[in-house]
Amino acid sequence: MSRPLPPLHLSGVVLPEGEHRDVWVRDGRFTFEPVPGAETVSRGGWLIPGLVDAHCHVGIARGGGHVDDLAHAREQALVEREAGVLALRDCGSPVDTRALDDDPELPTIIRAGRHIARTRRYIRGLGIEIEPEDLVEQVRVQARRGDGWVKLVGDWIDRSVGDLAPEWPAETVTAAIAAAHAEGVRVTAHTFGTDALPALIAAGIDCIEHGTGLTEELIGEMAARGTAVVPTLVNVENFPGFAAEGEEKFPSYASTMRRLYANSGAVVRAAFEAGVPVFAGTDAGGGIEHGVIADEIRALCQAGIPAEAALAAGSWKAREWLGLRGIEEGAVADVVVYDADPRADLDTLQSPRRTLLRGRVVA
């Protein structure tokens, strides 16, 4: 039987409200009512609802493929926690990490099951590879394997055309997304280019990952529908390298990737200004190191999103989107404390002073 958590006390400027308050933690949850005997674990500074990496992969090793065992997956999650990330949306993993859910040291992991990709049209070993006639049933399978999300691979290089191309016929996408919604889960999709996007958005997809191929018209439709985007700008920085690697065999693909890279910041800015919900995600796992959420939030700001909105995209707004709460009465006590106001200087996010995860001091 687990021991009860000791009562704690913090004081400081609470975001997003920006007011200096005293906050107590009782039984792992926030309260604004004084708790006798509570230990003061932080005084002063800025209290931020636990950060969120909204596109992460726990269980994918550096360079792709599976991690060796759950111990390595746990190490990845711990690196995220040390960066102040207390919730992860795992956008596809070949490793079943549900055994980590009871580990009190680890961030909350919200899973999307495994990537669903077309046969021989994705990174080998990462996803479930199928043909279109099996997509609807596989969506149902992954809906039951995840935590409210399913992840499709919307486009990838098609060697027969030498460039990015959609993986699924439009009518199949429509049926698959309808099946996911009938299962009570949301759907997101990897896309780099443009051609796969119209069918995905028209079918009612809930989120687009990367989204570098978004056009003004598609952004307008996403804004009208409330479709979110997670731009993963720290991964988009790899696009010139992808282009160079594919140049000799697939010059059209290389040209496309360079164009998408050149326009990526403008796309993010246009999406935000149009009212599309934008969230911070790093694509950590494989080609991106874990623990770089501060870099992604800063990249969103550099693309033209105001600093406070970029911070919200990786904290309280992202938590709300994923069904998690902030620093509120009765909410689970996930909080990161910083010495300075991160809204004034996003570099502050690199140095958390104190971290509470589910009411326990972990850093």
Question: Residue 19 contacts by C-beta under 8 Å, 6 or more apart in sequence?
Answer: 13
Distance CA 312, CA 329 (A): 19
pLDDT of residue 65: 73
Distance CA 217, CA 214 (A): 8
Chain mean position to CA 292: 12
pLDDT of residue 361: 97
From the CB of residue 7, how many other CB atoms can be counted at a distance below 10 Å?
A: 18
From the CB of residue 71, how many other CB atoms can be counted at a distance below 10 Å?
A: 8
Residues written for the chain? 363
pLDDT of residue 254: 98
Strands (E), the chain: 8-14, 19-26, 29-31, 39-49, 51-56, 85-90, 108-111, 116-118, 128-130, 149-153, 155-158, 163-166, 186-191, 207-210, 228-230, 335-338, 354-357, 360-361
Residue carrying structure tokens 């999300």? 149
Q: 130: left (phi > 0), else alpha (psi -120 to 50), else beta?
A: beta
pLDDT of residue 2: 63
DSSP secondary structure of 154-199: -EEEETTTTEEEESS-HHHHHHHHHHHHHTT-EEEEEESSSTTHHH
Q: Is 77 helix (H, G, I), strand (E, B) or coil?
A: helix
Question: Residue 272 contacts by C-beta under 8 Å, 6 or more apart in sequence?
Answer: 278, 304, 305, 309
Distance CA 95, CA 103 (A): 17
The ranges of the chain with pLDDT < 50 are: 1
pTM over 0.95: yes
Residue carrying structure tokens 């090793």? 61
Q: What's the longest Cα–Cα distance across the chain? A: 69
Q: Is 25 helix (H, G, I), strand (E, B) or coil?
A: strand
Distance CA 359, CA 210 (A): 33
Q: Is 101 helix (H, G, I), strand (E, B) or coil?
A: coil
Distance CA 33, CA 36 (A): 10
In order of 88, 96, 142, 151, 352, the CA distances from 147 in angstroms are 11, 12, 9, 11, 28
- For 35-67, what is each residue's pLDDT tens digit? 999 999 999 999 999 999 999 999 998 777 778
- Tokens representing 158 are 């098609």
User: Parallel, antiparallel, or unpaired for β 360-361 and 354-357?
Assistant: antiparallel
Please, what's the b/e burial string for 274-296 (b: 16 or more CB within 10 A of its CB; e: otherwise)? Answer: eebbbbbbbbbbbbbebbbbbbb
Asked if residues 355 and 362 have their Cβ atoms less than 8 Å apart, the reply is yes
Q: Is 357 helix (H, G, I), strand (E, B) or coil?
A: strand
